[in-house]
Amino acid sequence: MLAFLSKLFTGTNYPSAMLVVDDGSRIYAVHLVPEEPHLVEEFGIPSRPIFRREGTREQRREEIGTVALNVDKAEEVVFGGDMAERVRKLWEDKLRKERPPQQSGEAHPTGTSVDVARLVSDVLRPAALEAISEWEGRPRSEDATQACSVYVVYVNRPAPEPISLWKTPTSIAG
């Protein structure tokens, strides 16, 4: 009974981590959904000191670095997309190395338990550092360039699914 009440109030947590580019007013997030190996979600929302969205709550964050972006031209979105592509590539490479080849037509296993610390060290952090390094060498206009922080944000989700702002409807009113 006590365990039931505890779970009722605390719920089950599904840990994960995401990359966040923060320009001070908005964040652009890249979240690799651990339970869906081929899903990397990207979204932008107003910046807050602590990330909370759709029941997902920030546990802690680590600054990876800063990158100079022209926020007037929404370069944080382009930079975030660049990080997302790097995350996809590194994640696919990691999955290919760690799993035996699948038979044709066999579905990729979902619900796989993922060590979030390894996800960060093997995929998220390297993707962010590569993107920051590449973007440091680009020419910038001085008028609208702003230093944007890049973080790894550790979160607990209420369900093993994306953090997306717009959930898939469970029914359609007709």
CA dist 29 → 20, 115, 165 (Å): 4, 20, 11
pLDDT score of 128: 98
pLDDT score of 170: 41
pLDDT interval class at 114 (50, 70, 90): low
What is the rounded average pLDDT of the residues 61-81?
Answer: 90
pLDDT score of 31: 94
pLDDT interval class at 104 (50, 70, 90): very low
pLDDT at 41 over 90: yes
CB < 8 Å & 24+ apart, contacts of 164-173: 164/41, 164/43, 164/54, 165/43, 165/45, 165/53, 165/54, 167/54
What is the rounded average pLDDT of the residues 74-97?
Answer: 92
